[in-house]
Amino acid sequence: RKEVEQDPGPFNVPEGATVAFNCTYSNSASQSFFWYRQDCRKEPKLLMSVYSSGNEDGRFTAQLNRASQYISLLIRDSKLSDSATYLCVVNIRTGGFKTIFGAGTRLFVKA
Amino acid sequence: NAGVTQTPKFQVLKTGQSMTLQCAQDMNHNSMYWYRQDPGMGLRLIYYSASEGTTDKGEVPNGYNVSRLNKREFSLRLESAAPSQTSVYFCASSVSAGSQPQHFGDGTRLSIL
């Protein structure tokens, strides 16, 4: 089982739709959580950190459920420019630390 | 605002050749990382440096060496390149290791023939 698993993609949605991504992690020592976006042939860029209380940044909402070990990302009112791959990232404290990236979920937003 | 700068951006090598990928950050970050990204797989950590003067293995360190030259610079060396090392390599940095988000360079596309 992968340490971080994401929804299989791709997701194809029309402009204006609401889309949700889920990510599960297996290591209970996971300490911090992030969502990144990656455009084709570009570097990953931080979208938002994920806090236990949930957090919102404009059209984007991230939530963390420690008991069930999953995080989610909700995108409201999708724009064409939201088309990208969304990466779930988990930092695990294990003496040292490990950063584990999910394989990503591809999103296509169509006019 | 340069952020994280990687050189070169593209490189083609023959099997057995060696080369060093360079990375520098100007954000005064303590921690730096090297990843590789292959199709259908997430980024995998090769090596990281939690602070100047320290380096540690990540998930896939075999075939690579690193040097944390100073606080700004972290290089990745392939001593004897193999076709399995064909990949996109990303360098990243963060304020500290383990809890802070990482900021990435724009990658080096490496092909080994």
Residues B3-13 pLDDT 10s: 999 999 999 99
What's the average model confidence in pLDDT over B25-39? 95
pLDDT score, position B1 = 62
- Chain A residues inside the 8 Å CB shell of B98: 31-32, 91, 93, 97, 99
Does residue B77 carry a pLDDT above 80?
yes
Given pLDDT bands bounded at 50, 70 and 90, which one contains residue A34? Answer: very high
Give A88 to chain B, closest Cα distance, Å.
Answer: 9
Q: Please tell me the predicted confidence (pLDDT) of residue A30.
A: 82
Contacts of B87 in chain A (CB under 8 A): none
**CB distance from B31 to chain A under 8 Å?**
no
Whether the CB of A55 is below 8 Å from some CB of chain B: the reply is: no
Contact B98 A87 (CB under 8 A): no
Query: What does the pLDDT look like over A49-79, one tens digit per residue?
Result: 998 888 999 999 999 999 999 999 999 999 9
- At residue B90, what is the residue type? F
Task: Give me the residues paired with residue A28 across strands.
Answer: none
| pLDDT the model gives residue B24 | 97
Query: B50: which chain A residues are within 8 Å (Cβ-Cβ)?
Result: 96-97
Distance from CA of B79 to the nearest CA of A (A): 25
Over range B8-23, report the average pLDDT: 96
